[in-house]
Structure 1
């Protein structure tokens, strides 16, 4: 399974998180997605968390305290999350992003299907 990819047609970075990830595994996927943002200059990320079980507290804190500020500085403006059907996974994903969603530096939306997520990201074109 590839955890990080670039969709050059849609100009979106794709990140996939599956299962119960240990802190270092979670961090590596997130860091790789940010590296692709910096490499491509893309401002949108499609995050597939549909098969994640739960996000560890340590990973949640790292995302909020370190990754999100770096993402804002790198120019990330929009993130679409494919959320898990599993209740605990869904709550875990939403609570991890809650602070950034409230701040509004990065616009975050949640979806149950990839087609809707991609449609929303396409609607968020950057004005030059």
Structure 2
């Protein structure tokens, strides 16, 4: 099965992968704070709608093309989005690792922030390919 694009912007897309099943947020370059938060929030809205029909349901971040994520956006993820995501049912996040060092630092910071959190629990895993990320997520949520 192929992934279905459910929302697209110039800086990233949201896709649905029914074989996992999961939503994929796929970044295609730099997103400013407004764009970053918009796509993350839109993804969470779509996740919540689909989660009413599909259980279990996962979240995958294809960050191969992500650039640096601003510290203020990382803090927003840590103190706002992650809490709402866990409440919506996201307990596992699978990453396809970024190609740039700045993107890698951003994903490492996210992973560190999640590991240190005491008001939500989200397991993370990083993979070199989309296929590996999907395989891990399918096993984790299954």
Q: Same fold (TM over 0.5)?
A: yes
Deviations 1:62-104 (A, max 9, x none): 1111000000111111110111121121011210231213447
| Partner of residue 10, structure 1 | 20
**Do the aligned partners of 2:92 and 2:124 also contact (CA within 8 Å) in 1?**
yes
**Do the aligned partners of 2:95 and 2:133 also contact (CA within 8 Å) in 1?**
yes
Query: Is 1:82 aligned to 2:92, yes or no?
Result: no
**Superposed counterparts of 1:32-51, under 5 Å:** 32-41=42-51, 42-51=56-65
Secondary structure of the equivalent of 1:117?
helix
TM-score, normalised relative to structure 1:
0.89
Q: Give the length in aligned residue pairs.
A: 126
Root mean square deviation of aligned Cα: 1.7
Unaligned runs of 5+ in 1: none
| Larger displacement relative to structure 2 (43-52 or 99-108) | 99-108
Aligned partner (choices 30, 41, 56) of residue 31 of structure 1:
41
Unaligned runs of 5+ in 2: none
**Do the aligned partners of 2:95 and 2:127 also contact (CA within 8 Å) in 1?**
yes
